[in-house]
Amino acid sequence: MLKRLLRIPTLVCLLLVAIAAAVFGPLLLDWLDQSSRPRPRLGINLAGPADWNTELPFVDLMRFSRAWTSQMRGKPFGSGPALELDENGYPSSLPEGVWAESPLISFEGHPWPSGNYTVLYKGRGTLSFGASATATLEDSPGRMVVTLDSSKGNLHLSILATDPSDHIRDIHVIMPGFEESWDTDPWHPLFLARWKGVACVRFMDFMATNNSAIRTWSERPRVTDTTFAGRGVPLELLIDLSNRLGADPWFCIPHMASDDYVRNFAELVLEKLDRKLKVHIEYSNEVWNSGFRQHKYAAEKGQELGLAEEPWVAAWLYTSRRSVEIFRIFEDVFKGNKRLVRILPAQSGNTFMASQILDFQNASRHADVLAIAPYVGLNVAETPDRYNTLTASTVASWDVRQVLDRLRTRSLPETIESIRSFRKLATDHGLDLVAYEGGQHLVGILGAENNVALTRLLQETNADPGMGQIYTRLLNAWQDEGGSLFCHFSSVARWTKWGSWGVLQYYDDDPATSPKLQALTQWANALGQTIGSPPEEIREMRLRKEVDTGNGLRPVKHEENGHEHQQDQGSRQNS
């Protein structure tokens, strides 16, 4: 009898445990699943170096200027004879009747910062800013202070004459207010304030990764280059920006880079990068994409090595192989992988490709993350095919509401399902899932980019509050499905027929007017990640758009070599 009585509490306990397991078990499993997931964070892809870059990250306008173009009287732009350039890209001499010209800002109608610019240079010759210069306030050897007016249109700089024995070089065109600090603080404070708090900066476009011609360390971009357009921003400045923002750098190694290049690259990063930051490493960008030269290169290399017969498969497998080779060099330099985030990329929607890349020679065992690009897309072709069933004429007849409905009911669910599939694939290989790019992908293609009505509609959709709602649903799904870092594409870029990628279009846009940026920052803020300086601080940093023209100075114009320049106002001749 006593034994039976003693069994009762035991049975009751077991019953209570069973009930608790039935009631709370699913909650516990869900908690364990949530706690094991990586923390989602927001990163950004920066727009690339070019005179049409509308973000103006540098206070020195020469940094994103176009390479010097040869000009001749009576001939179309860029039709002069080939220029002899020095090792940094400056014309070492000019033939008779020829001048060199470089567009500094090409904004297509939007104001750039007007005001008094300080121009520094070495050598002897004649510089001109053309009609943009309304006054020369100071003029001495190697230094000018010129009043530049954005109402005159795009900003160009010309070298009208240069002394071959001491040619004009090392030119810097410094924005108003930064003459004393441009060399040690090269970044515009508005640029830094905008991206303060991002977890990671992906430098794909900033490094001019696509179609890169760089092979050796000696071919890398340097701080002394006349411009960073073409070859990309130098590594020293990429590291400096990461340190200032406190953001992990995401480096894209050029597809033809030698092992020596990779080792020197890694050594410089180890030396100069804040040790609290992690180093994201990716082999090139979208090597699977046949539109880029890196795809052709990888396909040929893969075939040469006998990795596959089909060129596209050879490119995938070579991506896998070369990625691991690059990882190992970094691991050797960093004495391990603790500070490294080793990235294997794949095309969103193609899990077969991803599996091939992950499984080839057990590459996933040498990586940390699988990277995809979860876009909510609407690619519209002129003529439909099996991938793009909508025609430009059909979509151009829609309104914004219909475009948003299409995104909500078709594109977004497809993207979420893709995220879910890739998350499982990554988990099965012991990897986290990250987004190397992501956001909206509304664009005309295959001739439809020339449909003006279509372009206007897609841009209006990007500016509509409904786009912010699409972003919020995408980001929440990314979080719910276990995604980690999400690097939006892109930062600040003017919307054109080629796409509306920027969260803002211009350096001075009000962030509050962008549904895309608001959705991104609100999502990040909810996760404890504060993006950007306070709005009131950013508003105080607004750059001047207009110059005070009440100074009594009038521009004096004359025609020289078939091109309009300023005489004495904005020209510097030092002989």
User: Given a cut of 60, is residue 252 above it in pLDDT?
Assistant: yes
Helical (H) or strand (E) element with 559: strand 557-560
Which pLDDT band, with edges at 50, 70 and 90, does 332 fall under? very high
146 in Cβ contact with 137 (< 8 Å): yes
Mean per-residue pLDDT, 246-270: 98
Q: How far is CA 376 from CA 280, 399, 448, 472, in A?
A: 25, 18, 19, 12
- The whole-number pLDDT of residue 21 equals 53
- The whole-number pLDDT of residue 570 equals 40
Which pLDDT band, with edges at 50, 70 and 90, does 328 fall under? very high
User: Given a cut of 60, is residue 155 above it in pLDDT?
Assistant: yes
pTM above 0.85? yes
* Average pLDDT in the chain: 90
- The whole-number pLDDT of residue 533 equals 87
> 285-296 pLDDT, tens per residue?
999 999 999 999
- The whole-number pLDDT of residue 31 equals 45
Which pLDDT band, with edges at 50, 70 and 90, does 572 fall under? very low
User: Given a cut of 60, is residue 35 above it in pLDDT?
Assistant: no
Token couple for 319: 């991506």
Task: Using a pLDDT cut of 70, give the percent of the chain over it.
Answer: 87
- The whole-number pLDDT of residue 118 equals 98
- The whole-number pLDDT of residue 63 equals 98
Mean per-residue pLDDT, 546-561: 32
Structural domain boundaries in the chain: 41-56+187-509, 61-185+558-574
SS (H, E, C) 236-271: HHHHHHHHHHCCEEEEEECCCCCHHHHHHHHHHHHH
In this structure, of 156-160, 410-414, 507-511, the range with the lowest mean pLDDT score is 507-511
User: Given a cut of 70, is residue 571 above it in pLDDT?
Assistant: no
- Return all residues near 430 (Cβ < 8 A) that are at least 6 apart: 364, 365
Mean per-residue pLDDT, 424-443: 98
CA nearest to 517, candidates 474, 455, 472, 486: 472
- The whole-number pLDDT of residue 388 equals 74
Token couple for 300: 């040929």
Task: Say if residue 98 is exposed, middle or buried (CB neighbours under 10 Å; 0-12, 13-18, 19+).
Answer: buried
Which residue is associated with the tokens 């509308």? 54
CA distance 543 to 113: 6
User: Given a cut of 60, is residue 359 above it in pLDDT?
Assistant: yes
Q: How many residues does the chain have?
A: 575
Mean per-residue pLDDT, 524-544: 81
Q: ω into residue 500 within 30 of 0, thus cis? A: no
CA distance 249 to 43: 10
CA distance 66 to 220: 18
Specify the CATH number for 41-56+187-509; select among 3.30.2020, 3.10.450, 3.40.50, 3.20.20: 3.20.20
- The whole-number pLDDT of residue 272 equals 98
- The whole-number pLDDT of residue 20 equals 54
- The whole-number pLDDT of residue 237 equals 98
User: Given a cut of 50, is residue 268 above it in pLDDT?
Assistant: yes
- The whole-number pLDDT of residue 389 equals 80
Mean per-residue pLDDT, 28-33: 45
In this structure, of 12-16, 86-90, 216-220, the range with the lowest mean pLDDT score is 12-16
Beta partners for residue 476, in sequence order: none
> 298-323 pLDDT, tens per residue?
999 999 999 999 999 999 999 999 99
CA distance 94 to 551: 36
In this structure, of 107-116, 396-405, 449-458, the range with the lowest mean pLDDT score is 107-116
User: Given a cut of 80, is residue 113 above it in pLDDT?
Assistant: yes
